[in-house]
Amino acid sequence: MSTFYAWVVPAYTSGSPVDHTWVTTYDSRRNPYPDIAAVINAGEANWYCWGSFHPHGGTPGNADGYIGSKSGVRKIADCLVLPNADCNASAAARGTIFTYGIDGVCHQLANQVLYATAAAASPPLTVKSARGYSVSTFLYGTYGLQHAAWQSKLQTCAGVKPMTVIPSGAEERMDKMPDDFEDHAREVLADKPELLSRLLSLRTEVHAFAAQKMPGFYPPDAAFLNARNQHLLDQAAALLGPEDFRNVFGIEPGERIDLVDPTIQRTPEE
């Protein structure tokens, strides 16, 4: 067993209201390795999660950037997502977030690594404390939009049996697969079941739309994806109204929130 640590820094600009997340097998508060070579030499692992190497975390209000840790199986994590490798250079380091901004972003990839912390008596650790997480999981889910590929990975790496997609009210979800957005929305809108049902139905439509293959040889750029995501988020704001939107998403209606980092290369999976 290994201990997995989840970290955050502001996503690609110091003033961003969204956090970039990544995972390590070491506590960077005690061992701030200066580079990936030092990590490898120490026999440790750093999952970049569609980002760059960070010796330590830190955001406004969270000086060290630590957002959680849990014991898990290193062998499973290594199989799900290759550690100590740049996602732009290594397909295996992408898990099933094959195309950044299309299949998911750093939150979903970090969660894929952290699935190795799942235990019979407790769900896996996720990066749900990261800023922007409710927006991210509304758009991309907890583990990204490549559901079939993710199930295949889980079966290969962790022996998890394929999960059945079953109707649940107006929406569809993977039975038993952790869904942080749905859990959060159910808690916030517990006294408004009809509104909750409409929100989850909208989310299913959002996922279906976001998973559509875009025309052309290359993925759309970050500006397009961020504008598309903002439009989908605005649909939720129109449905919920200001107070419920604020309570579900943690931001103001109409506030611009760019999840997709324009500096990250998005190469389509061969």
CB atoms within 10 A of CB 214: 13
The answer to whether residue 209 is domain-embedded is yes
Cα–Cα distance, 114 to 112 (Å, whole number): 5
Cα–Cα distance, 267 to 270 (Å, whole number): 9
Are 199 and 232 in contact, with CB atoms under 8 Å apart?
no
The answer to whether residue 216 is domain-embedded is yes
The answer to whether residue 263 is domain-embedded is no
Cα–Cα distance, 86 to 120 (Å, whole number): 32
Number of structural domains the chain divides into: 1
Cα–Cα distance, 54 to 26 (Å, whole number): 13
Cα–Cα distance, 72 to 75 (Å, whole number): 9
**Residue 162 confidence class, pLDDT cut points 50, 70, 90:** low
Query: DSSP code of 63?
Result: T
The answer to whether residue 261 is domain-embedded is no
Cα–Cα distance, 173 to 88 (Å, whole number): 30
pLDDT of residue 267: 55
Query: pLDDT tens digits for 105-145?
Result: 999 999 999 999 999 889 999 999 999 999 999 999 999 99
CA 245 to chain CA mean position, Å: 20
**Residue 175 confidence class, pLDDT cut points 50, 70, 90:** very low
Query: pLDDT tens digits for 198-254?
Result: 999 999 999 998 887 777 767 789 999 999 999 999 999 999 999 999 999 999 998
Domain span holding position 19: 2-249
Percentage with pLDDT > 70 across the chain: 91
Assess whether pLDDT exceeds 50 at residue 169. Answer: no
pLDDT (mean) for 91-117? 97
The answer to whether residue 222 is domain-embedded is yes
Assess whether pLDDT exceeds 60 at residue 183. Answer: yes
Phi-psi region of 95 (alpha: psi -120 to 50; beta: other; left: phi over 0): left
The answer to whether residue 258 is domain-embedded is no
Q: Tell the residue number behind the tokens 């701030």, with chain if given.
A: 32
The answer to whether residue 266 is domain-embedded is no
Strand-strand pairing, 2-10 and 19-24: antiparallel
pLDDT of residue 20: 96
Assess whether pLDDT exceeds 60 at residue 174. Answer: no
**Which of 17, 56, 57 is CA-nearest to residue 35?**
56
Query: pLDDT tens digits for 17-27?
Result: 899 999 999 99
Cα–Cα distance, 163 to 177 (Å, whole number): 8
The answer to whether residue 92 is domain-embedded is yes
Mean pLDDT of the chain: 90
Pick the range with the lowest mean pLDDT from 72-76, 95-99, 217-221: 217-221
**Residue 16 confidence class, pLDDT cut points 50, 70, 90:** confident
Cα–Cα distance, 170 to 264 (Å, whole number): 35
pLDDT of residue 178: 86
Cα–Cα distance, 101 to 119 (Å, whole number): 30
pLDDT of residue 155: 95
Cα–Cα distance, 171 to 112 (Å, whole number): 23
pLDDT of residue 14: 63
Quick one: 120 exposed, middle or buried, by C-beta within 10 A (0-12, 13-18, 19+)?
A: exposed
